[in-house]
Structure 1
Amino acid sequence: MRALDTTIRNYHWGSRTALAALRGAPPSSSPEAELWVGAHPSAPSLLRGAGTPLDRYVAANPVGTLGREALAAFGPRLPFLLKVLAVETPLSLQVHPDREQARSGHAAGVFGDDRPKPEILVALTEFETLAGFRDPAETVVLLDSLGAAFGPLRDLVAAGDLRGALRWALHEPVDLVDPPAWLGSVAATYPGDPGVVAALLLNHVALRPGQGVYVAAGVPHAHLRGTGVELMADSDNVVRAGLTSKPVDVRMVLDLVESTPGLVLDGEEDGPLRTYPTPEPEFRLHAVSPGAVLHDRGPQLLLCVRGSVELARGGDRLVLSAGEAAFLPHGHKTSVAGDGRAYWATTGAAAG
């Protein structure tokens, strides 16, 4: 059981206050967008006191840290990455590859790694996102209300051609004069961006604290505002369609996009644990309250988000305050005490 020093990523869409408040720190001088907990080589957490990057620590003893089952399934690395996102202005409209697309794309030099990037986000505050295509009948009603300029888009949606509708939205210069209220911040942040019109096709999801949204590979999505805990496969493969100043690749987006909806999850409660199941083998996210006993299978991360929690494992004890995290290697059960709230990341197979 090792306490971690985590990494803050500064992106323009972040907040100067949300992650600072989580850590009990004063407001930041620049936007703080993501707090990373994990072993991704671009920003690995460090073992507190030793300064050893977590990816190197795992690689030095993969059997002891991961367990034989996770090592056989995912290789000598931590298969998931845990984050806290603080979204003050909208993120890009994007999709991620599935397993086979990531492998072939990496072999062709298109993707930086050979892994898929499905995700789940659980809201810490009220959280708004666009996730997956909206029900076509509802989208037709919306587009009818916007006028004749959106007639071709409306007809594609009515015919069930959602990929064709997305292609039209990303290629046709149409001015959205009076956007729906939920789209106002996006239109104001990215005036004239074709991603604004594409957003009309997507499902607007408003999460309460404790609710989650699962975004599978190929699901178009864009987070709009709020703070949440996000868990994903340990990958950085992102393809953007719009709502960004970064490079976009509409052709690849259209190759990758799927009509699978984003799935809203309330979680499954079992005493002091609330689990958010997904079909992904790489990860499973759980909300943890004091009194929980965490299983001993596979590698695990635990992040305290409120108050403090005391972890007891194999004779060792560790206290984490809000914003602090720990790596729990394979092999020992962990009991949780204190007055706080935490999120626990495991592999999907170990949680099953």
Structure 2
Amino acid sequence: MKSARILLTLFVFAMIDASCQPATEPPVALPTAQSLAEPIPTPTDAVVFTPTALPAATATQTRIPATATKTPTPTPGPANTPSLTPTLEPTKPVFISFSLGGGDGGSPVRYYLGAGVPDFTLYADGQIIFREGNYSFYDDDEGYILRESYLTDGEMCALYSTIHDTGFFEVEGEGWAGVDDPIYGEFDDNVVFSEGGPSYVIIVNGPTPKEVHIYYAYANYTIPEVKAVFDLLHHFTVNTTTPFQPDSVMLWIDEVVEPEGQSAHDWPAILPLLSNLLPLMDYESYKGVLILENVDILMELFDYHLKAQLFSEGDHLYQVIASPLLPHERSQDYPRGSNVAAEFKLPFACDLAPSE
């Protein structure tokens, strides 16, 4: 397998989180990775919306894997092995999501490790899924974990009403015009103009769908209506969550020649043989293998974290990532892409104050 392809391309990016497009204005000074880890200061002229009973969020940082594994050349497999053909249609519409991601560079394999998953996704039935932790590749690190809870109709209405009352739905622009976009106000001398970095993405669906893409370096320069919703969702959390229990999982599998000192786990006999799953990998399109059975065993095997683990099967070693499909995702869409604002009728009653 010495001619095997490299799985992951080393790259440098900062705070990767949801897929979105960065602003296109010419750079004056590019930010450093350290600047992404620093809290965003609040400009004196910004109108900050502070919701009640919403604890502050904990900032996280991403890490880039320092090593790469080798990918094998796919070979035909037995006829009775699992296939990539099952169709998973989205079963739940997204109501509200908030994420930070995008930017230049990086292999699509990072999406199997949780890149592209929003900080939280709230569905129309009240289910809410948070992404917690840090981006990680290594087996001895925890990596991201997805946790879930449920909001009542009243809680969803309260959140939606708060967003509505800010004037967010009347805002022109979505952030694609760079510094000239209507979502931004006045820039001061402290702003660092740049390009190629990540963006915050806010999506609120319903009768008046709206999405905005806020370049990370300009988050404090948005107009009050946008800044109010940014602050609300950036700090949104709930008191009690449990590990997310998916119905299906996408596996990314690589045969490893040189494990670089990692210890291997035993692959459970109840799961399909990795040697049978390996030929089903589509490395050129970054398509993994869809697993629909014994998903709970898979999740427990990875301690519910999105990370790569080394497994032994016979005389072979395999590096495996188990990436849960979210309720609105399909296997055909992997690696996961951006959500798009969509119009639908709210499934709960919610009296809104008239717009001024």
Judge same fold: TM > 0.5, yes or no: no
Kindly indicate which of the two structures has a greater share of residues assigned to strand.
1
Kindly indicate which of the two structures has a greater share of residues assigned to helix.
1
Report the TM-score, using the length of structure 2 for normalisation: 0.29
Report the TM-score, using the length of structure 1 for normalisation: 0.29
